[in-house]
Amino acid sequence: MAKRILITDDALFMRVTLKNILTQNGFEIVGEATNGVESVELYKSLKPDVVTMDITMPEMDGISALKEIRAFDPEANVVMCTAMGQKNMVVEAIQSGAKDFIVKPFQPERVLEAMSKLAA
Amino acid sequence: MKVQYVSPFAEAALNVFQMLVSITAERGQLSARPQMFTTQQVNVVCGITGNIEGLVIYGMSMVTADRLASKMIGQPIVTFDQLAASAIAELGNMISGNAASVLATQGFSVDITPPTIIRGSNVKITTLDIPSLLIPMEIGDIGTLEINVSLQESRKSRLAAA
């Protein structure tokens, strides 16, 4: 069965790009969230296998959303996917339970590698 | 404004263009800008907060925006729609984010706000008390991206240092 992914990014372009990369490689996109609040809500209703999470977003940022999702489900697989690659951001995300940290811009292979590792 | 705030944005732009459109961009001549200036046809505005604060504006012609968005999306742009605008906004977000990482290695902790796009020529922008520096980036046959950096040490940092 195809692994179920929830995409979280405020930019339409990023959601389309991630969707294309993932669907072309056998993953199923079960939902798209445009901010942290939507992502947490969709996580609870959809229970995806993996969540991609941008950080800089309106309403609720990705780090806060990551924490809320992990509080709801300590086993949640969340992969950060953001342009903010500074060390303290990576450390905070990983300490908050993120499974991987992808810095934009990225090559499609980098995303597939992260997903395959988690959704195996 | 300190020139050291500008270089991270040029450096980040070089990395982003290499990765995103496989083009080795060239950094042009740095220049100071008056506090009030006229925008380009397409502008991505990115707020910067933290130890240093202000805004960075990425300006380009409509033709350059079309070419960049086409490359990023992987197919020609017929009309500059939501997807194209989002691609150009994301380009600004990526350069700002990568620059924030470079600034962090220099001891400046900054965050960026979600980008805004302003379209239409002859729009006057004034950064009030914050002087601006302009650095043009030549992106092969795609055109020129002007990076307008208007940043200053934050009030909080200045108070802490006093």
B65–A contact, CB cutoff 8 A: no
Residues B3-161, CATH architecture: 3-Layer(aba) Sandwich (3.40)
Q: Please give the residue range of the domain that contains residue A33.
A: 4-118
Mean pLDDT of B132-137: 94
- CA distance, residue A110 to nearest chain B CA (Å): 12
Say whether B79 sits in a helix, a strand or coil.
coil
Q: Provide the residue ranges of all domains of chain B, joining segments of one domain with +.
A: 3-161
What's the rounded Cα separation, in Å, for the pair A58 and A74? 25
Pairing between β-strand B52-60 and β-strand B143-153 as defined by DSSP bridges: antiparallel
The structural domain count of chain A equals 1
B4 falls in which pLDDT band (50, 70, 90)? confident
Q: Provide the ipTM.
A: 0.86
B 1-60 residues with CB < 8 A to A: 16, 19-20
Give chain B positions within 8 Å (CB) of A12: 82-83, 86
Overall residue count recorded for chain A in this entry? 120
For residue B22, pLDDT beyond 80 = yes
B37 falls in which pLDDT band (50, 70, 90)? confident
For residue B10, pLDDT beyond 90 = yes
For residue B159, pLDDT beyond 80 = no
Q: What is the pLDDT of residue B100?
A: 94
Record the pTM.
0.91
